[in-house]
Structure 1
């Protein structure tokens, strides 16, 4: 019988998403419909890293992982495919520094499937935690404004219309793209480093797609990563013995329509937090550094490392 990884429940929605962000993020951050909850990022960073460690998010969006990392005394690097979100992530990093965060963060705009062409090879073997979330295509988040007598106005419910974005390539290509990204990330991870991903199932043409299960199988079969933990990050608050829903208008609307058609659909109240561990060797560093010399297996301070990105990149350190 296969031994199951440890499982725990994280109370990550005791406050609303809006309350968690508050003035910690610039107001424009609300426009991204697929943001990670800051409390999920903060707990993962606290649990799997130490002050001074380096955190990487290869699909960083508005920079939630990066902001929470530098507030916690960790350094952070993010890659974002969509230029507007990359710029917003940079603004959030500058905002965090203005609020007293003392660690360093940078954002690179580019395709994480070509991670080895975006980041400095000297980062190989120095990342302690990769924390990210896959794209989901048409999102169940966004903003709604009631228009009396004219229904509602929807806005900010898509974060990309670029057909090359992984959000639009279909399930099989999404899984393959995630494998490409995580394989590149393992070359940056230190021995024994952690990859953590927030993933949720989603509905497609009346079928619930088990994206967490698909990714877990693909990652363990096709990379050197091993499943370390599988946690439940709640998207609902907990009061005594009851769950307090935090669902968006779009989620509620989808469930109501399904029930009208006689389908017993329920609101999703959690995200899976899949946690994988890198082997305790330097093989990943060797793959990225190639002929550049022996891999660096022990962490080094970023203050002594020089640039984080390749010289021709437009990434800006915050």
Structure 2
């Protein structure tokens, strides 16, 4: 892990006005003009089916970074599973959606991404002043790093209160062209599952006992047939020792892949319109585990 600070970001801006992610130009704004700091209407989710037709455009949230998740997702997770001042980790932070929500909600955060250009996007979207009428609000410390989710060497054991992250799906959207260790470039599903086991082990190490780890994953399709990636990821985290707290179905809207829509009509298969948001809990050392056996590794 290598820290990328606000000062590093300012130096980067002097020479660059954009980065390129997955062949898409992502502008870096010198001054973010923000119209609103929160969703116009927000009600915390209460069921295991989440649907956000309006993906969210408050603060610096923009949908021009492919594969980033709707800010409604980390907002719900942060409000449910943490208190102000607690520490949130997103170790595949991408454009920084989770980190921006942490800043708005008064949670400290650590963001990590294997692509330094992605970290610059995240730092860029964190670069705004936030004034609130909430007398209890304290501006949180948010640190960002270029690093590998499988080796979080600068994060201590049992220091994190919540993990909320959206990993790449096996070879769906490549976030770098040739960066070693980039999970978005792993094409073999078995290899991807093995690497996610390593991610799960690191999650278990850095997360405090009794705290939660939320992972949004989707499945894929090849040769006109469904590829179940999410069950493999589920098993990876259960094998690492986690307890499954929730399996939330997140509906997909405004999918950019028009090619997939065209192929769906041509080859007569269903478009994948959902993802799985798994919420795991790390057990306490003194817990009686027998009562959770049906929610743990069974094989």
Same topology, TM > 0.5: yes
Partner of 1:213 in structure 2? 231
Q: CA deviation at 1:184?
A: 1.2
Tell me the SS of whatever aligns to 2:285. coil
Computed over aligned residues only, the root mean square deviation of the Cα atoms, in angstroms, reads 2.4
Q: CA deviation at 1:98?
A: 4.4
1:44 to 65, 74, 77: 77
Q: CA deviation at 1:10?
A: 4.3
Partner of 2:175 in structure 1? 159
Distance 2:141 2:49 in 1: 27
In the alignment, structure 1 residue 106 sits paired with structure 2 residue 143:
yes
In the alignment, structure 1 residue 183 sits paired with structure 2 residue 183:
no
Deviations 1:273-312, CA, capped at 9 Å, x for gaps: 1011101129xxxxxxxxxxxxxxxxxxxxxxxxxxxxxx
Q: 1:189 to 1:30 in 2, by over 3 A?
A: same
Distance 2:89 2:171 in 1: 25
Tell me which moved more, 78-87 or 162-171.
162-171
Distance 2:170 2:184 in 1: 4
Q: 1:199 to 1:53 in 2, by over 3 A?
A: same
Partner of 2:167 in structure 1? 134
Distance 2:170 2:240 in 1: 25
In the alignment, structure 1 residue 229 sits paired with structure 2 residue 246:
yes
Q: 1:207 to 1:163 in 2, by over 3 A?
A: farther
Contact 1:34 1:159 in 2 (8 A): no
1:57 to 53, 69, 90: 90
Tell me the SS of whatever aligns to 1:111. coil
In the alignment, structure 1 residue 248 sits paired with structure 2 residue 287:
no
Distance 1:77 1:197 in 2: 16
Counting matched residue pairs gives: 235
In the alignment, structure 1 residue 273 sits paired with structure 2 residue 290:
no
Deviations 1:91-120, CA, capped at 9 Å, x for gaps: 22222x4466822211100112221x2x24
Q: 1:231 to 1:30 in 2, by over 3 A?
A: closer
Deviations 1:150-173, CA, capped at 9 Å, x for gaps: xxxxxxx75221253111122122
1:21 to 41, 48, 57: 57
* Structure of greater relative contact order (alpha carbons < 8 Å, 6+ residues apart): 1
Partner of 1:85 in structure 2? 118
Partner of 2:48 in structure 1? 9
4+ residue runs over 4 A deviation: 97-101
Q: CA deviation at 1:269?
A: 3.1
Higher helix fraction (1 or 2): 1
Q: 1:93 to 1:228 in 2, by over 3 A?
A: same
Partner of 1:296 in structure 2? none
Partner of 1:260 in structure 2? 266
Contact 1:128 1:193 in 2 (8 A): yes
Distance 1:12 1:45 in 2: 17
Tell me the SS of whatever aligns to 1:114. coil
Partner of 2:221 in structure 1? 203
Q: CA deviation at 1:46?
A: 1.0
Tell me which moved more, 271-280 or 198-207.
198-207
Tell me which moved more, 52-61 or 211-220.
211-220
Q: CA deviation at 1:230?
A: 0.7
Q: CA deviation at 1:137?
A: 5.0
- Show structure 1 runs of 5+ residues with no match: 1-6, 140-156, 236-245, 283-318
Contact 2:48 2:247 in 1 (8 A): no
* TM-score normalized with structure 1 length: 0.67
